[in-house]
Homo-oligomer: A and B are copies of this chain.
């Protein structure tokens, strides 16, 4: 059962105050008496804490018998403070913009104020979770010992922004969206956003090889409806999706206070040892971008996840990719 940490009046980087802000999180394992065994593993775009559980388990790197794993829900995901659960006046179409920095500050307060933790052996995450991972290493370099961002980036690239513009435009093209003040779900827009996303989430080769059949879908159209439309219709509130999309599009560790937009300087300030794992055929977080990031981090290794699963290599649905990631995490934690 997830728990909620009260953030109180939480001042966001953009200037708004989210009064009575909440950070909902789940933990796995026990915090050691000396508080030395905590790992932070933030969620991804529209993901919830339970969606991270595939990488946690006995015998895995994230072994709850050894580590205390904290999975904080991203602001906007519907469990932590979000357009869908915030009372007026900051509700729904008026929910303020939230940055990666804001997310990490909320998590930092949970980790330090609530748990009294001073060091983190590891921060890791997939996709936007990787973005939060980078942000942790920049916001709190003295605290984060290791990072493992996979299928994500330290800064949203221009191309990635454009991909997200397509998702956003499709979602909001539905008149029912009513600029965020919908009275019924804009399902046409949600379904359209799902179809746009479908082309990006998996690689060309994944589709060529019809690997959706391995996931239990009987045809291409069945995958588009059953997996993708189903995903977007699974209680994913449009304003929530747009809040997280804004966070994603505006992600840049260079916007951490003190760096004045200088992404390279922010990366250079990272003290954590890093294993950075893009997926070979990720269409919106391509390996080249992470090769660039690794060049600027003092102690980082690029380790590309091979294969055709694209962005979803980091989602736990392909055993080979999961093993690849878990192996890297074990190695990272051992050093």
Contacts and interface: CB of A to CB of B under 8 A. Distances in A.
Interface string A132-160: 00000000000000000000000001111
Interface in A165-180: 165-166, 168-170, 172-176
A77 to B, nearest CB: 23
A289 B208 contact: yes
Interface stretch (A8-16, A20-28, A198-206, A256-264): A198-206
Interface in A221-267: 224
B173 A189 contact: yes
A191 interface: yes
A199 B163 contact: yes
A210 B284 CA distance: 16
B165 A195 contact: yes
Given A173-B192, A174-B175, A162 B208 contact: no
Interface of A: 157-163, 165-166, 168-170, 172-176, 188-189, 191-192, 194-200, 203-208, 210, 220, 224, 283-284, 286, 288-289
27 contacts: A157-B204, A157-B207, A159-B204, A160-B204, A161-B220, A162-B195, A162-B220, A165-B195, A165-B198, A165-B199, A166-B166, A166-B192, A166-B197, A166-B198, A169-B170, A169-B192, A170-B170, A170-B173, A170-B196, A173-B188, A173-B189, A173-B191, A173-B192, A174-B175, A192-B192, A204-B284, A204-B289
